[in-house]
Structure 1
Amino acid sequence: MDLSKILDDRLICIDMLSKNKDEAIDELSGKLKIAGYIDDIESFKKDIYHRESLGSTGIGNYIAIPHGRSDSVKEIGVAIGKLKQEIEWETLDDKGVKIVFLFAVGNDNENAEKHLMLLAEVASKLGKEEAVEKLLEAKSVEDIKKVFI
């Protein structure tokens, strides 16, 4: 899956003011709804929180990747938010989160396959210290996109 084709400027927020996990998920879900990626915010968030209940999506290094398959998804996408301040999140390294990648993926088998490919591609980039540093230092939407293109 080509991440450069998935990244949508409308879904990238460089200065999120969210003060906690719930606000961050709300804000990014709103972006997905406005851009037409999902049709029902509450149903989508319910599916995201169900996945969160199965295990933390805070992968460490100030990154969280909340996701979950949902019938409310009309188009696969990822909303990215860079927070102005670190927020509390259950993470593998017990640090907070500064960058959130909220994945929107449908519930059918084709979307499940794309979901895994998208997660794998993002995870491979985020596994590189240099990429994480660039994300943390990003000052624009273009800066964030350059990490993945």
Structure 2
Amino acid sequence: MDLSKILDDKIICIDMPAENKDESITLLSEKLKNAGYIDNLESFKKDIYYRESLGKTGIGNYIAIPHGKSDSVKKVGIAIGKLEHEIEWETLDDKGVKIIFLFAVGSNNESAEKHLMLLAEVASKLGDDDAVKKLLEAKSVDDIKNIFI
């Protein structure tokens, strides 16, 4: 899957002003709704929080990858938020979060396959300490996109 076709300026936010997990998920979900990726904000958030209840989506290194299958998704995408400061999140390394990748994935099998491919591609980049350092230092949408392209 070509991340350059998935990464969309309209759903990437630098210096996101969220103060906590709920605000960050809401802000990124609103971006997805406004850009036509989802059609029902509350239903989408409910599906994300259901997945959050199953296990930690904070993968460490100040990064979280909340996701969940949702009938509200009309187009697969990844909303990215780089926070102004660290917020609390349940993470594997017990640190907070500074960057959030909110995956919008439909409930059908085709979307599930796309989700797995996207997750694998993003995870391979996030496993690279240099890429994570660049993400944490990113000052623009292009800085973030260039890490994945």
Hey, what's the Cα distance between the residues in 2 that align with 1:49 and 1:55?
10
* Deviation, structure 1 residue 55: 0.2
* Deviation, structure 1 residue 92: 0.2
Q: Which residue is equivalent to 2:70?
A: 70
* Deviation, structure 1 residue 141: 0.4
Hey, what's the Cα distance between the residues in 2 that align with 1:3 and 1:54?
27
Hey, what's the Cα distance between the residues in 2 that align with 1:138 and 1:117?
24
* Deviation, structure 1 residue 4: 0.8
For the residue of structure 1 that corresponds to 2:42, the secondary structure is helix
Counterpart code for 2:147: V
Hey, what's the Cα distance between the residues in 2 that align with 1:42 and 1:61?
29
Residue 117 (structure 2) pairs with residue 117 (structure 1): yes
Normalising by structure 1, report the TM-score. Answer: 0.99
Hey, what's the Cα distance between the residues in 1 that align with 2:80 and 2:110?
23
Hey, what's the Cα distance between the residues in 2 that align with 1:73 and 1:52?
17
For the residue of structure 2 that corresponds to 1:85, the secondary structure is strand
- Report Cα offsets for 1:83-111 as digits up to 9, x if no partner: 00100000000000000000000000000
Hey, what's the Cα distance between the residues in 2 that align with 1:129 and 1:110?
31
- Report Cα offsets for 1:50-81 as digits up to 9, x if no partner: 00000010000000000001000000000000
For the residue of structure 1 that corresponds to 2:123, the secondary structure is helix
Residue 118 (structure 2) pairs with residue 108 (structure 1): no
For the residue of structure 1 that corresponds to 2:93, the secondary structure is coil
Aligned positions of 1:21-100 closer than 5 A: 21-100=21-100
Q: Which residue is equivalent to 2:6?
A: 6
Hey, what's the Cα distance between the residues in 2 that align with 1:137 and 1:80?
14
**Structure 1 unpaired stretches of 5+:** none
Counterpart code for 1:88: E
Hey, what's the Cα distance between the residues in 1 that align with 2:114 and 2:128?
22
* Deviation, structure 1 residue 126: 0.2
For the residue of structure 2 that corresponds to 1:13, the secondary structure is strand
Q: Which residue is equivalent to 1:131?
A: 131
The number of residue pairs the alignment matches comes to 149
* Deviation, structure 1 residue 41: 0.4
Identity across the alignment (%)? 79
